[in-house]
Amino acid sequence: MDTRKFYDITHREHVVCNPTSEEKLARLVELLRLPTDAQVVDIACGKGEFLIRLAEAYGARGMGIDMSPFFITDSERRLKARAPIADITFTQMNGADFKPDEPHSLDLASCIGASWVFGGHANTLEALISMVRPGGWVIVGEPYWQQEPSGDYLEASECAREDFGSHSSNAEAGERRGTELVHTIVSSKDDWDRYEGLQWFATAEYAHTHPDDPDLAEVVERVSKAKAAYLRWGRDTLGWAIYMFRSRSAA
């Protein structure tokens, strides 16, 4: 089935489409202290919650990019309801193809939980760093191994050991590229339980209301498999954090 449809179904109950609470997202927005009319981009923006909050708090201007037409529609609806005059646009495209009008010109570039867009954490950092001005923000969300993953978990989750690093290596990757790590917002088990559990709930609701969908059996099977892997291994094995990097000011 279409991957974008799958995520639309499984994330219908989510406001934030990653294992971060709305309270932690609010903390992130507060800590950024952006200038008025800051220029920003959010790659793989999901339902646009982060970008809309930046517009509400700072009058930020810019673009949210996502490959899902469902999420773009959700984002536009939320923006119209909450910040209708904001200079924010949502565009359906591959985030890897985005380039600002000028390099090193944005106040903030983010990719929270979708480093696959650029081919991994290191490539994501390099892409975002090239977009922001000296002193600008690079915000990424990335999983990390809390403990060595078992072979059974890797097989069940269809992950490879090298897909993720440690919490410290995620942080060090940004600092090696000339940014300063100023804060991390680390997800708790409760954050993970909410993120995963809402997918189970949304799938059950969809199954109840769309019993004739020809894709339903595949959705249920995939979610059931992911649920079992999460409960048996993932909850204690995989962590997640938002990393707040700041591009160093020019000397």
Maximum distance among all Cα pairs of the chain, rounded to whole angstroms: 63
DSSP letters of 21-44? -HHHHHHHHHHH-PPTT-EEEEET
Task: State residue 46 phi and psi, 5-degree precision.
Answer: 60, -130
Reported pTM? 0.95
Q: Would you list the domain boundaries of the chain?
A: 15-188+239-244
Whether the Cβ atoms of residue 246 and residue 136 lie closer than 8 Å to each other: yes
- What are the average pLDDT values for consecutive 10-residue runs of the chain, which has 251 residues? 95 96 97 95 97 97 97 97 96 96 96 95 97 97 97 94 96 95 97 98 98 97 97 97 89 43
- Choose the CATH number for 15-188+239-244 among 3.40.50.300, 3.40.50.150, 2.30.110.10, 3.40.250.10: 3.40.50.150
User: pLDDT at position 250, please?
Assistant: 54
Whether the Cβ atoms of residue 36 and residue 59 lie closer than 8 Å to each other: yes
